[in-house]
Chain A
């Protein structure tokens, strides 16, 4: 009996979905747009996180050592820094390496190369590149080095300078902007989700409203509530499934074609400057397909089904 009822409810739901062609179409359009706004929140979040990660990656400080500083002293400083919890990574570049890099970079510029020859010996200091886990932590790392002020055996300071002061402005700005952007994104996302839910609910409520006479007739011939409401919920779930599929297809297409477009839109001429951001959406979409699929589908089904369930309630009182 339960199986028969279930079969009948499902069949009626399917048939109603098909016969109410235009209404079903309207519901699917609205639901698809809402799901796409969910999708865009997911994408904007992923893109934003990648962008922020990229920028964070680019921020660093260089510690320049005094010319002729012995390598083991520098390595000792590096080992010291590595022990700090704020430090994500350190890279030691010997003065020979700096010279090689410099020559390679300016090999086509004869003027600079001539100047370098004139000096004769290596004018470049050894450098320690330091990356913090969070941009806000560079100040304390710099502070730490200044307090420690390691020196060579003859008393000359080991560290020539730390370029924190030059980078301070951008580092400070980033460490305030990034959390603000993340917060604003979350708030905006919540508002959009809220609006989408309201719009979908009202659309489905209107659709159920058009069948209010039908609901009362069904009740008057003795149909139980579940028997009247069931097909409406089935139709609602179908709106959800179809809209979910369309939304996921749109998202896939967008992820596939968008990355280059977004970068151009953001005014980035050479995509390789932002290597972390290139293909971020398509990679994100593929890596998290299961999760995205279940979020979009689940939301669609839940919104469609639940809206129908709630909307039918008031007309069942007959």
Chain B
């Protein structure tokens, strides 16, 4: 489904973020990418939503080279991928409801679909009671759950979560991972990056280990080894 083909990324200051990374992801897989900070995990994620371009190599989604798409097609691609960021990236001037509704509006859903689905997805992440709050009125864990709700409400094929638990305490971390697993069980491909050993061990499943921009291990049912 997703295929990274010898992807390298060198930034203008000559620092190497990715160095010839190649691997594929099957549909409905739950892949955890682990590595120290600066190992290239985030860059890898950015490539998938065309937020960043590879210096060499290509990223394919169902045999389409992502970085050869037009602007319009990139927008369409992004609507198929739900993204969860470490820093949540919610829209501060919109309520929880509007933050999620916005993603649906962008994909062209009707108003009736929006008013039906948003409360439903908020129930799923256990935030039904905070629907009219603004992000600044929520705790870190709640914000991240809103971000997940936003990522999954459009029923994307893929959810990528870049260090979603980086700023959270263990209870909230566990909660977030449980939600991601549930999404995966419902048939969505999940790509998760983390440097949290506990998270990796909870998830199980495939683990790709990165170091200095290279894939050093790819285990079918991995543990956190670094």
Binding site for B on A (CB under 8 A): 1, 4, 8, 16, 19-20, 211, 213-214, 217-225, 227, 318
Contact between chains at B111 and A4 (CB < 8 Å): yes
A213-B89, A217-B91, A218-B91 known; A4+B110 contact, CB < 8 A:
yes
Is B72 part of the contact surface with A, judged by Cβ < 8 Å? yes
Within 8 A of A (CB), among B86-143: 89-93, 102-103, 105-108, 110-111
User: 19 pairs across A/B with beta carbons < 8 Å?
Assistant: A4-B111, A213-B89, A214-B91, A218-B91, A218-B106, A219-B78, A220-B49, A220-B89, A221-B79, A221-B83, A221-B102, A222-B78, A222-B79, A222-B103, A222-B106, A223-B102, A224-B75, A224-B106, A225-B75
CB contacts (< 8 Å) of A225 on chain B: these are 71, 75
In whole Å, how far is A146's beta carbon from the nearest beta carbon of chain B?
79
Given A217-B91, A220-B83, 13 other A-B contacts at CB below 8 A? A8-B105, A211-B93, A214-B91, A214-B92, A217-B90, A218-B106, A220-B49, A220-B78, A221-B79, A221-B83, A221-B103, A223-B106, A318-B51
CB contacts (< 8 Å) of A16 on chain B: these are 93
CB contacts (< 8 Å) of A227 on chain B: these are 105-106
Is B76 part of the contact surface with A, judged by Cβ < 8 Å? yes
Is B150 part of the contact surface with A, judged by Cβ < 8 Å? yes
Contact partner of A221 (CB less than 8 A), chosen from B92, B93, B150, is B150
State the CA gap A221–B79 with chains docked (Å): 6
CB contacts (< 8 Å) of B80 on chain A: these are 222
Contact between chains at B93 and A19 (CB < 8 Å): yes
The residue on B at minimum CB distance from A1 is: B108
The residue on A at minimum CB distance from B107 is: A222
Contact between chains at A222 and B76 (CB < 8 Å): yes
Decide if the interface of chain A is mainly helix, strand, loop or mixed: helix
Contact between chains at A218 and B102 (CB < 8 Å): yes
In whole Å, how far is B61's beta carbon from the nearest beta carbon of chain A?
14
State the CA gap A8–B92 with chains docked (Å): 18
Number of A-B contacts (CB under 8 A): 55
Most buried by B among A4, A220, A318: A220
CB contacts (< 8 Å) of B76 on chain A: these are 222
Pick the 10 closest A-B CB pairs, nearest first: A222-B78, A222-B79, A223-B106, A221-B103, A217-B89, A224-B75, A19-B93, A222-B75, A222-B106, A214-B91
CB contacts (< 8 Å) of B49 on chain A: these are 220
CB contacts (< 8 Å) of B93 on chain A: these are 16, 19-20, 211, 214
In whole Å, how far is B19's beta carbon from the nearest beta carbon of chain A?
25
CB contacts (< 8 Å) of A224 on chain B: these are 72, 75, 106
A19-B93, A20-B93 known; A221+B78 contact, CB < 8 A:
yes
State the CA gap A4–B112 with chains docked (Å): 12
CB contacts (< 8 Å) of B51 on chain A: these are 220, 318
State the CA gap A211–B77 with chains docked (Å): 24
Contact between chains at B106 and A221 (CB < 8 Å): yes
The residue on A at minimum CB distance from B88 is: A217
State the CA gap A211–B107 with chains docked (Å): 21
The residue on A at minimum CB distance from B103 is: A221
The residue on A at minimum CB distance from B49 is: A220
CB contacts (< 8 Å) of B90 on chain A: these are 217
In whole Å, how far is A14's beta carbon from the nearest beta carbon of chain B?
12
The residue on A at minimum CB distance from B93 is: A19
CB contacts (< 8 Å) of A19 on chain B: these are 93
Within 8 A of A (CB), among B1-41: none
State the CA gap A4–B103 with chains docked (Å): 15
Most buried by B among A19, A221, A222, A224: A221
The residue on A at minimum CB distance from B151 is: A221
In whole Å, how far is A183's beta carbon from the nearest beta carbon of chain B?
48
State the CA gap A192–B105 with chains docked (Å): 42
Most buried by B among A8, A222, A227: A222
CB contacts (< 8 Å) of A219 on chain B: these are 75, 78
In whole Å, how far is A112's beta carbon from the nearest beta carbon of chain B?
83
State the CA gap A78–B167 with chains docked (Å): 98
Contact between chains at A223 and B75 (CB < 8 Å): yes
CB contacts (< 8 Å) of B75 on chain A: these are 219, 222-225
CB contacts (< 8 Å) of A1 on chain B: these are 108
